[in-house]
Amino acid sequence: MSDVLIREVGLRDGLQLVKNILPTEKKIKWLNKQSLLNFKEIEVTSFVPKKVVPQFFDAKIILNEANKISNLTSSVLVPNLFGAKKALELNAQKINYVLSASESHNKANVNKDVNSSINELSEIVNYNRNLEKNSKIGVAISTAFGCSIEGEISNLKVLNLVEKILKIGVDEITIADTVGYANPKQVRMLFKKLINLTDNLKIFAHFHDTRGLGIVNVLTAFDLGIRKFDSSLLGLGGCPFAPGASGNVATEDLIYLFNSMRVSTGINLEDLVILCKNISNFFPNEVVNGRILSAGIPKNYY
């Protein structure tokens, strides 16, 4: 068993902001190659309407491929009951339902108010409960620290949401700093309280490196007991409100952080860097935000 679980979200959050559609066979190659490196969980695609995010036109195919891989928990993002039903029909092992802490962001992202999103979550949970084979249900709280429309988001708002979600009953909650507003002080305050509300292993932390604080926020959460983190290969992803800004914390940098501190990830950094180089060839027009790829692994790195 590793000390931490790194969930790869590049195929979902990363690709969401990549301009060109990545061909299906390349997505499948990425998925298979990365799971071979001992990644235990990958968010593989998103069941959003094609007209909203054309990148995920092949969600069904990708999910089917992911289901063939043994020793992998795959999750898919869903924005509503419709997407959830589709994913559950296709035997998704885990669906990750997204809502925002910011009213304005929720409206912009899923076109409803936060209360309606919470009600829809109840419907999804009930729907899943009545199925023969239950899938795991996760909820991602977007803009949990700040929002490009509303500015800073208070911890209280997030904690209220978490209480409602826990009452409905889900398997996990992802706290997402969607646009890179979090700072370590805010992270410390929020996660301290979160850990009092629920089991630390129910929580995923999802940080972006938009303003350079991705890695420090990860370690701050880790120091408080959080053990599950999202990240994206090459730091793919970004922020639609800040073109050119960096996106998700880069998986390779996160693995480097933990491995260098002797916190076991189960992932070999050298193998990962090779994968990164291969995958970066898929994206000749994207900026690689991860640092370890350009700097190289330190000499005598164990």
Query: Where along the sequence are the contacts to a copy of itself (CB under 8 A)?
Result: 146-152, 180-181, 183-186, 209-213, 215-216, 219-220, 239, 242, 244-246, 250, 253, 256-257, 260-262, 290-292, 294-296, 298-301
In whole angstroms, give the CA distance from residue 107 to residue 111.
4
| 239 carries an active-site annotation | yes
Residue with smaller CB distance to a copy of itself, 162 or 215: 215
Q: Considering the complex, what minimum distance in angstroms separates the CB of residue 300 from a copy of itself?
A: 3
Alpha carbons within 13 A on the beta-carbon side of 283: 23
Residue with smaller CB distance to a copy of itself, 99 or 245: 245
Query: Strands (DSSP E) along the chain, which ranges?
Result: 5-8, 41-46, 73-78, 94-100, 136-142, 146-147, 151-152, 172-177, 203-207, 228-231
Q: Considering the complex, what minimum distance in angstroms separates the CB of residue 301 from a copy of itself?
A: 8
Residue position matching structure tokens 């029909």? 89
**Cβ-based neighbours of 240, under 8 Å, separated by 6 or more:** 17
| Residue of 138, 141, 109 lying closest to 125 (CA atoms) | 138
Q: Considering the complex, what minimum distance in angstroms separates the CB of residue 288 from a copy of itself?
A: 10
Residue with smaller CB distance to a copy of itself, 168 or 263: 263
Q: Strand, helix or coil at 108?
A: helix
Catalytic residue among 76, 213, 239, 293: 239
CA 30 to chain centroid, in Å, comes to 16
Q: Buried (b) or exposed (e) across 215-246, using 16+ Cβ within 10 A?
A: bbbbbbbbebebbbbbbbbbbbbbbeeeeebb
Q: Considering the complex, what minimum distance in angstroms separates the CB of residue 52 from a copy of itself?
A: 24
Q: Considering the complex, what minimum distance in angstroms separates the CB of residue 290 from a copy of itself?
A: 7
Active site residues: 239
